[in-house]
Amino acid sequence: MNETFVLSAVVVAMLAVTLPWAKRRLELSLAKHPSLTGHSRMAKRVASMLPGYAYDATRFFNSDHAPVAVVARRRAGLARLTSLYAERYARSLALTTQAAEGLSDLQFTGAYRVPFQYSPYLRQQLRVASFVRESAGVTITDLDGNVFYDLTGSYGVNVFGQDFYKQCIAEGSARAQALGPLLGSYHPCVVDNIARLREISGLDEVSFHMSGTEAVMQAVRLARYHTKRTHLVRFCGAYHGWWSDVQPGPGNPDTPHATYTLKEMDGDSLRVLRTRRDIACVLVNPLQALHPNKGAPGDTSLVDSARRAAFDRVAYTAWLHQLREVCTQRGIVLIFDEVFLGFRLAPGGAQEYFGVRADLVTYGKTLGGGLPVGVVCGRKALMKRFREDRPADICFARGTFNAHPYVMAAMQVFLEQLDTPAVQAIYHGLDERWNARAAQLNRRLQEAGLPVQVANLSSVWTVFYTQPSRYNWMLQFYLRAQGLALSWIGTGRLIFSLNYRDADFDEVVNRFVSAAQEMQADGWWWHDATLTDKAIRRGILRELWAHRS
Ligand SMILES: Cc1ncc(COP(=O)(O)O)c(C=O)c1O
């Protein structure tokens, strides 16, 4: 054997080993969304380098180089809102200020309502109160007696209206009263809940947890345990709680090493699922159908008018079928994370709505009947946490408050209510009703010549803006002034409870349109031909560059 032959053999052997690896690596890269959201590590690096800077009292109003007269209207508009908020929300604001000093959560949400450049000046002028005292029907009342239409949906918990949950909690508490908060043993109502959840999910077994985040953690842990594979696949932009492995990008100081973030609704991702051997599970949050591959649309990132959303039920259904097929072929566990959407679209949740069955399903939020909960439903083989043949090989999952009697009893009432004719009637024609309502608002906005539209997935809505502007985030403050309550992410997500009657909704439409008209009159939506979304983004990049340290 001469040396050349040996060398060639070594090279061929090396290529044989490395080429398949390189091919799989390339496929993985192709399956990443080209945005920063699709590249978690890079996004984290970029986020850590982003310099902080703030607009002063001049730049705040003319960051888009609006004419002097427009700037004056904006100033007057903000001054009017400032005094209106200070007068109308005096007590609620005073308590918010008092609490914020010792409540880190309030400091965080207060700082991240609008793009960071505008936040410090705006907070000096206009603060949003975070205390309320009552809820009834579709409204909430603050400490000053102001009544707001509730568009927050309590982070998605409120599907059937606050009174419904008050009833679940009151009746549930009465049922649990004799046992009290005794933990470890179960209240008999747990048996009912198991039976009903098995029916609803079409799956064999159930486990109870304390939050949606914990339910997702447990579902992924079970998938890893049973498949003996390491990686979870999540889709770009999807939220699954705040556990490290499902939040690999900015916001998490850890760097999870066993998470792939892939493009949703894309053949490249299916190729990765078809070829890699290290994938234990695929996590799907069906809410992403409204804005695939994009993160939750909060107003803090509303720097221009690029935000768009559109729900295509047929396309998303086809995607879920493709996922189901490849997961079945490859022995990958398909997990539907229905913590947000479960029970909102159909009594059987997203599985029923899209007609696709998952191997594990997580629920939470509304299922607790107003109390905190997380639930995993799954196929028997996947839910097992131990092995008879390897007694020390277990998949541990316990939590002090799991199956808390008061939560279980409130859940029992919730599940019983689902079967009542009144709740069944709510589901009848649900999509048609909410699509018609979205169309109604869009028509009114269009007729009024306002640069605002909404997109919806049934009763979950997002607002988008049809002409370039740097100030779209101001709309949230005009909406609040019109008595529409929004969550801290502002116009990015409006969540309606399903007990909205037409008359309530008509009132919301009137107020929404009035808010947008006021904002327009105050000049925030001024624009000229040079003000494009691209120009806005370039301008911001120049500012970032100038403030680099
Ligand atoms: C789809 C989804 N999964 C998980 C979670 C986390 O649930 P929790 O906030 O109860 O921990 C959320 C919360 O918004 C969610 O929307």
DSSP letters spanning 249-273: STT-SS--SSEEEE-SS-HHHHHHH
- 247 Cβ closer than 6 Å to some ligand 1 atom: no
> Residue 142: what are its φ and ψ, rounded to 5°?
-90, -175
**Which pLDDT does position 448 carry in this prediction?**
98
533 Cα–ligand 1 center, Å:
32
373 Cα–ligand 1 center, Å:
10
513 Cα–ligand 1 center, Å:
31
10 Cα–ligand 1 center, Å:
52
What CA–CA distance (Å, rounded) separates 96 from 254?
A: 32
469-503 per-position pLDDT tens digit: 999 999 999 999 999 999 999 999 999 999 999 99
8 Cα–ligand 1 center, Å:
55
Q: For residues 4 and 457, which has the higher predicted lDDT (pLDDT)?
A: 457
pLDDT band at 1 (very low <50, low <70, confident <90, very high): low
Percent of the chain beyond pLDDT 70?
100
Nearest CA to ligand 1 atom 5: 241
122-158 per-position pLDDT tens digit: 999 999 999 999 999 999 999 999 999 999 999 999 9
Atom of ligand 1 nearest to the CA of 364: 10
Choose one of 218, 340, 341 to mutate for the ligand 1 pocket test, by most ligand atoms within 8 angstroms of C-beta: 340
pLDDT band at 16 (very low <50, low <70, confident <90, very high): confident
446-461 per-position pLDDT tens digit: 999 999 999 999 999 9
> Span 215-235, mean pLDDT?
98
Choose one of 240, 345, 363, 367 to mutate for the ligand 1 pocket test, by most ligand atoms within 8 angstroms of C-beta: 240
- 213 Cβ closer than 6 Å to some ligand 1 atom: yes
**Which pLDDT does position 323 carry in this prediction?**
98
Residue 15 pLDDT > 80 = no
**Which pLDDT does position 13 carry in this prediction?**
79
Q: Taking CA 534 as the corner, what is the angle to CA 531 and CA 540, rounded to the nearest 5 degrees?
A: 90
- Could you tell me the two tokens for 270? 């299916």
- 285 Cβ closer than 6 Å to some ligand 1 atom: yes
**Which pLDDT does position 542 carry in this prediction?**
95
543 Cα–ligand 1 center, Å:
35
242 Cα–ligand 1 center, Å:
8
> Span 324-345, mean pLDDT?
98
**Which pLDDT does position 8 carry in this prediction?**
82
Q: Which helix (H) or strand (E) holds 336?
A: strand 333-337
Angle, to 10 degrees, between the axis of helix 162-176 and the axis of helix 405-418?
Answer: 130
**Which pLDDT does position 398 carry in this prediction?**
87
243-278 per-position pLDDT tens digit: 999 999 999 999 999 999 999 999 999 999 999 999
> Span 161-167, mean pLDDT?
98
What CA–CA distance (Å, rounded) separates 190 from 526?
A: 58
Strand 139-142 relative to strand 147-150, pairing: antiparallel
> Span 352-369, mean pLDDT?
98
Torsion angle of the four alpha carbons 160, 287, 434, 324, in this order, in degrees rounded to the nearest 10: -100
Residue with tokens 């594979």: 229
| Sign (positive or negative) of CA dihedral 80, 82, 86, 88 | positive
- 363 Cβ closer than 6 Å to some ligand 1 atom: no
Nearest CA to ligand 1 atom 16: 340
- 349 Cβ closer than 6 Å to some ligand 1 atom: no
pLDDT band at 21 (very low <50, low <70, confident <90, very high): confident
Mean pLDDT score of the chain? 96
- 240 Cβ closer than 6 Å to some ligand 1 atom: yes
Residue 3 pLDDT > 80 = no
The predicted model scores a pTM of 0.95
Residue 56 pLDDT > 80 = yes
**Which pLDDT does position 533 carry in this prediction?**
97
243 Cα–ligand 1 center, Å:
10
283 Cα–ligand 1 center, Å:
13
Residue 210 pLDDT > 90 = yes
Atom of ligand 1 nearest to the CA of 373: 10
- 209 Cβ closer than 6 Å to some ligand 1 atom: no
